[in-house]
Amino acid sequence: MTLSHITRLTRRTALLLAAAALAGCAWKPAAQAPAAPQRPPIVFVHGNGDNAALWMTTLWRFESNGWPRERLHPITLPYPLARDADDQPQPGRSSSEEARLFLAAEVDAVLQRSGASQVVLVGNSRGGIVIRNVVAAGGAPKVSHAILGGAPNHGVWSSASFRPTSEFNGAGPLLTRLNNQGGAGIEITPGPKWLTIRSDNNDKYAQADGAWIGAKGTPTHVSFAGPELKGAKNVVIAGIDHRETAFGPQAFAAMWRFLTGSEPATTRAVPEARITLAGMLSGAAVDNLPLAGATVEVYATDLSTGARLGAALHRQTVGADGRWGPLVTTSKTALEFVVTAPGHAITHVYRAPFARSSDLVQLRAARIAVDDRDAPAVVTLTRPRGYFGIPRDEIELDGLSPPAGIPAGVAGVSTAKARLADASERAVVGSFNGERIVGRSWPTAGNHVVFLELHD
């Protein structure tokens, strides 16, 4: 490695660590109760291409069962997509080592702020691999429990010929090292208590066929049990998808039992009458970096028509940190978020009422997809915390049930799109297993994109 390579890596690592420090300074809603000493801080780590917002409903469930809000720490990794080859720089993506350094720094910051001696680490998908890497690289004394939901612990594929150095290759150097630490029959780093949560057969990244990695008909050499680890407590939940292994109510119940030895009082979010919302705004690129100078507007909307109820509740041009908010509202108020940013479409995001306060209302300025530019209007139903499954789920968008574009079988897509026949403004309804959102159509010709975003 040349001196210039080392210099670039050093600068990149410094940027990642600086982002970790900035994330730790983000506004937090007021705590509901003093920190209970018996409840350790929990650090939540999202998966490939995701952000901390996916943990919103999981945090609500922990809070609703009495875990102190100030001891729940979801993090957002910059450059959240893994490299195709872990040992080769790739613009806009991070290596396993960069992700490890970021999480390790955040663990140290949480320990310092909380005064605790250990943290709990909870991760989904790639986040589970990052957790394992941190623990294996000397972090074990700082971690009491490690919970991995849907982590591809034996790879999404296992092959010496296809992307041999990828983080997601079970035969690659990273997973080979992590799976050979504890002696014969043990695949975990000794010290913390380990839990894995997996689907019985509905995880798109634990399939014997390569259909979900673009290689249909090619064996992956990975089984449904790929997320399990020898030496861990391994829990199997029937029917759940890849994301639901971490973000779903059944996964939460498994986490709670593992951490407390008892059943949770509820797996639902107990509503708060008055709530405070805030978050961060990023651009269309999947880098989780703040989009300074963009404008955020928030409107209350009619639950049955999606129409705005008066003037904006909140209007703000975000600064260098990308933070927006706080907005104080009620848990019975449906909302429309509007993001306006140079180089992006005017982005409208409709949400059903938020049950509880959150500083994880992450917004992303979007662009109109090339294939949608000729459509009068387009509305997308999106489910960030899980996938749509046919026939498992009841899904409807603009009167079509199920919407077009959702394949039957293994749940693997998180969006459904309706291309409207005209550009007239009207109500558009989306629903998923009982959760209902009503938004409004906006014309593509006016550079508008519309999302109906589900909580669950």
Task: Find the CATH number of the domain harbouring 301.
Answer: 2.60.40.2190
Answer yes or no: is pLDDT of 26 > 60: no
Question: Average pLDDT in the 217-222 region?
Answer: 97
Q: Taking all residues of the chain, what is their mean pLDDT, rounded to a whole number?
A: 93
Q: Look up the domain containing 164 and give its range.
A: 3-260
Q: Which of 235, 260, 285 is the last residue of a domain?
A: 260
pLDDT score recorded for residue 450: 98
Residue 53 resides in a domain: yes
Domain count within the chain: 2
Same domain assignment for residues 205 and 296: no
Answer yes or no: is pLDDT of 10 > 90: no
Helix (H) or strand (E) holding 377: strand 377-382
Residue 77 resides in a domain: yes
Question: Average pLDDT in the 166-193 region?
Answer: 92
Residue 311 resides in a domain: yes
Same domain assignment for residues 225 and 310: no
pTM for the complete prediction? 0.92
Answer yes or no: is pLDDT of 135 > 90: yes
Can you tell me the distance from the alpha carbon of 195 to that of 137, in angstroms, rounded to the nearest whole number? 19
Helix (H) or strand (E) holding 205: none
Lowest model confidence (mean pLDDT) among 6-20, 74-88, 184-198, 306-320:
6-20
* Size of the chain, expressed as the number of residues it contains: 456
Greatest alpha-carbon pair distance for the chain in Å reads: 66
pLDDT score recorded for residue 447: 98
DSSP 8-state symbol, 34: P
Same domain assignment for residues 117 and 159: yes
pLDDT score recorded for residue 2: 36
Same domain assignment for residues 325 and 350: yes
CATH of the domain at 210: 3.40.50.1820
pLDDT score recorded for residue 34: 42
Same domain assignment for residues 242 and 282: no
pLDDT score recorded for residue 184: 72
Beta strand spans in 321-414 (E): 323-330, 334-340, 346-351, 363-364, 377-382, 395-397
Question: Average pLDDT in the 109-114 region?
Answer: 97
Answer yes or no: is pLDDT of 139 > 70: yes
Residue 151 resides in a domain: yes
Residue 68 resides in a domain: yes
Same domain assignment for residues 278 and 233: no
Answer yes or no: is pLDDT of 255 > 70: yes
| Three-state secondary structure call for residue 404 | coil
- Bridge partners (DSSP) of residue 339 are 296, 347
Residue 415 resides in a domain: yes
Same domain assignment for residues 336 and 399: yes
Same domain assignment for residues 413 and 296: yes
- Bridge partners (DSSP) of residue 335 are 300, 351
Answer yes or no: is pLDDT of 68 > 60: yes
Same domain assignment for residues 225 and 341: no
Query: What is the residue type of 246?
Result: A
pLDDT over 90, % of the chain:
90
Are the C-beta atoms of residues 57 and 44 closer than 8 Å to each other? no
Residue 267 resides in a domain: no
**Residue 451: band (very low, low, confident or very high) from pLDDT cuts 50, 70, 90:** very high
Are the C-beta atoms of residues 100 and 177 closer than 8 Å to each other? no
Our CA angle for 348, 353, 359, nearest 5°, is 75
Q: Which of 260, 288, 320 is the last residue of a domain?
A: 260
Lowest model confidence (mean pLDDT) among 113-122, 183-192, 356-365, 428-437:
183-192
Distances in whole angstroms, Cα of residue 205 to Cα of each of 190, 308, 392, 411: 26, 40, 18, 10
Q: Which of 209, 230, 260 is the last residue of a domain?
A: 260
pLDDT score recorded for residue 32: 46
Answer yes or no: is pLDDT of 294 > 50: yes
Same domain assignment for residues 117 and 201: yes
**Residue 182: band (very low, low, confident or very high) from pLDDT cuts 50, 70, 90:** low
pLDDT score recorded for residue 86: 98
Can you tell me the distance from the alpha carbon of 397 to that of 395, in angstroms, rounded to the nearest whole number? 7
Same domain assignment for residues 228 and 318: no
Question: Average pLDDT in the 358-384 region?
Answer: 97
Same domain assignment for residues 278 and 157: no
Residue 185 resides in a domain: yes
Answer yes or no: is pLDDT of 3 > 90: no
